[in-house]
Structure 1
């Protein structure tokens, strides 16, 4: 029988354990596992409803969208229609990758405005910039211009109740006169408006250390891509827990990173099929990392 006295004692002991083990506190309140839907880019256009049902059945509760355009919306579905399918499967689109057309290069806001509206309908928290085309990132001045555009877009997002984030690959870590493009983006953007989605695979692939980035830029990395590296061919991905990357040290420092959401992503090299791969990754994270 649970008495009030036993309840208070047990509650006190649990609180003491959380204070003694910060990583335990993280594991207790960070149960949400997300999926970057680009992982299923071959399946989604064929049947969005069925694909998202399988995502939910694999253990995911959050997703990050991709592929929005003014013309085709989300694989032929309006944001409103996509939101209904997500709701039916208890999935939340907490972030989305939006290419924003030519905004980063010429300031044309038409696709940015459409992306903001789509993200609002989905009730997303973050609107994320996924990529910079190669011709527009050749030097320090290019990156400073991108940073300026990100600041401007972030203000528009904030006015709409959204947050702006930037997702990296490996090219941002190329140096120009001793400084990387990523350092410029971190330095030249408003830390109160522009956040970063750290792709852990690409950081490791570029020869950099995510833990060092956490230390030097505490709180800036609100989201992660958790994507593992194949043991035989580092240019390929694999299921989380099956590759070269040890994610445990990163999750232990999640608080320093500022991470509030993370998404599994696997772009290629599926063990059997993509649905089995996302379940394998979800199961590993649930058992070993949270």
Structure 2
């Protein structure tokens, strides 16, 4: 009984503190884990995957997003089982991975899709994410309609394997054809219940668009975000999250509307030690955003 009274008393104090001090409430709020796209550390991870993964975990990250899986090379020279063991040993999960599917998007050949599904399931991912598509696949609105049809097909195949499909943008999707963008076609032509989008906030802002406008028009379609900042002096490069020009706080106010589930840091350019950079970004995102 004493422990029950103590629990009730402490809970009451916490509630009172939350009312009086909003920051107190934040301390008790459930904070989303912060992820890192491993492409950020592409210069070093292939040389020492074990050491790099250990440093990522030490920086505070609880999730990673993979890239570059192949049937022969696996993940950075490790097969899926071994890499999963490495992540587990460091308290990390991989809810998503980037898998190129140009062949499938072009002609429907399922070979590379099957390999991608195998790699994703090997790490028990939730999302199989397409990070890019070749220029030959995206030169008109009709091309984007064909791609959208393929995305619906891939999503159905992924669903049968226990996975969800997502598409990650750059800036080329925002090129206009007769006043309409490829991104708009993809959002409109894909099944909202099957095909999700990983919004790269940096590329949306750099293309001159407003992420919030998409959250408003297509609620729930953006369960993953790439949290990548824009350098103040040179908008073509990245910098540590919170030190650049992007107003992430305004976007995170719409996280629920967007359907945000995974916030994933990415940085492609560095002016300091990459491990210092990813720690700095983690600290900002975990403290100020999620």
Could you state the TM-score of these two structures normalised by the residue count of structure 2?
Answer: 0.93
Q: Are positions 1:86 and 2:87 aligned together?
A: yes
Structure 2 residue runs without a partner (length 5+): none
**Could you tell me which residue of structure 2 aligns to residue 9 of structure 1?**
12
Aligned to 1:191, what secondary structure does the other structure show? coil
Shift of 1:74: 1.4
Give the alignment of 1:48-63 within 5 angstroms: 48-63=49-64
Q: Deviations over 1:10-38 (max 9, x none)?
A: 46658x85xxx9xx789922330000000
CA contact 1:101–1:112 (8 Å) conserved in 2: no
- Specify whether residues 5 and 165 from structure 1 end up closer, same or farther in structure 2 by C-alpha distance, changes over 3 A only: closer
Count residues in correspondence.
283
Aligned to 1:184, what secondary structure does the other structure show? helix
Q: Deviations over 1:81-102 (max 9, x none)?
A: 1101101101101100000251
**Could you tell me which residue of structure 2 aligns to residue 210 of structure 1?**
211
- Specify whether residues 83 and 3 from structure 1 end up closer, same or farther in structure 2 by C-alpha distance, changes over 3 A only: closer
CA contact 2:65–2:94 (8 Å) conserved in 1: yes
**Could you tell me which residue of structure 2 aligns to residue 252 of structure 1?**
253
CA contact 2:166–2:195 (8 Å) conserved in 1: yes
Shift of 1:288: 1.7
Give the alignment of 1:241-280 within 5 angstroms: 241-268=242-269, 270-280=270-280
Shift of 1:106: 1.0
**Could you tell me which residue of structure 1 aligns to residue 36 of structure 2?**
35
Q: Deviations over 1:88-140 (max 9, x none)?
A: 10110110000025111111110101111111110111000000101110001
Aligned to 1:35, what secondary structure does the other structure show? strand
Aligned to 1:183, what secondary structure does the other structure show? helix
CA contact 2:169–2:200 (8 Å) conserved in 1: yes
- Tell me how large the CA RMSD over aligned residues is: 2.0
Query: CA separation in 2, counterparts of 1:131 and 1:159?
Result: 23
Q: Deviations over 1:232-271 (max 9, x none)?
A: 0000000001100010011111001100001000011x13
Could you state the TM-score of these two structures normalised by the residue count of structure 1?
Answer: 0.93
CA contact 2:222–2:259 (8 Å) conserved in 1: yes
Q: Deviations over 1:50-88 (max 9, x none)?
A: 010000011100000001122322121111111011011
CA contact 2:101–2:133 (8 Å) conserved in 1: no
Aligned to 2:133, what secondary structure does the other structure show? coil
CA contact 2:102–2:134 (8 Å) conserved in 1: no
- Specify whether residues 8 and 224 from structure 1 end up closer, same or farther in structure 2 by C-alpha distance, changes over 3 A only: closer
Give the alignment of 1:105-254 within 5 angstroms: 105-254=106-255
Shift of 1:3: 4.2
